[in-house]
Amino acid sequence: MSEPLFVALQYVIPKLALTRLMGWLAGCRAGGLTHWVIRRFIARYNVNMAEAAEQDITRFATFNEFFTRALKDGARPLAAAAQVCPVDGAISQFGAIEQDQIFQAKGHSYSTTALLGGDAELAKSFENGHFATIYLSPRDYHRIHMPATGRLLQMTYVPGELFSVNPATARGVPGLFARNERVVCVFEDEAGKPFVLVLVGATIVGSMATVWHGVVNPPRPGTIWTRDYRDQQIVLKQGEEMGRFLLGSTVVLLYPQGDWQWNPAWAPAASVRLGEMMAG
């Protein structure tokens, strides 16, 4: 299928209905059928089960249990760096935020305010700051970990579209990551500076979850809501799990203006692994 046709189809397919159906199927306990689907998925996407804490697929009662499988101890050592990569995936884009504009793909940018659900005050903290967008493919590990130690300040659910978030759609759908459903997680680092992880939903992403809240969606109320955690001491250490996708998607990270030395090995479309140096 050509890329323009694939993008055009994104506007007409019943994305929400398809997502609900796939989310339901992924949660079904279908015994041998579930295990057959898992085997086919592993073969189709060349999933490396040698890294998994549980390698016997018959132990997974649902596809979701397999998809959000844990890694075995030591599979992702943490680099000695100020910021480490929070996921396995591929770099969509990274670099400087130009005033409030985040680069998506050739010909497309979107505003920090839009990404953050219209919170202009929060967006101002990241003017001329730094961003990284990392795409998780079906074969990747789908838990999300902390790039640095941080205290949770707030979480906001932002309803939106459910476009695919693969590279073709990023090139073809304007403002993709600020249009899709997303969960905005705001932290404060040990120096008191804010940073944000945005979990972006997509077609067939049945749900997104965080370790402090549990499953965020569904339900999908169609309105923005925010939970404030400033009166609590929820601190997650660098490398700790902070959330997960049930079926894969994208994470966008935001950092304020300041000295920033990206990993010199990083480049758009490069594969990255959880725990490797993101910035020194």
- The C-alpha atoms of residue 68 and residue 46 are separated, in whole angstroms, by 16
* Torsion sign, CA atoms 270, 264, 274, 177: negative
- The C-alpha atoms of residue 141 and residue 279 are separated, in whole angstroms, by 21
The continuous run of DSSP H or E covering 15 comes out as: helix 15-26
* 151 in Cβ contact with 234 (< 8 Å): yes
The residues that are catalytic are 88, 145, 249
Six-digit token string for 156: 């906001």
Angstrom CA distances, 78 to 82, 274, 277, 278, stand at 11, 8, 8, 11
> 80: buried, middle or exposed (CB in 10 Å: 19+, 13-18, 0-12)?
exposed
Beta bridge partners of 198: 184, 252
The continuous run of DSSP H or E covering 65 comes out as: helix 63-67
Question: Which amino acid would we find at residue 199?
Answer: L
Query: What 3-state class would DSSP assign to 154?
Result: strand
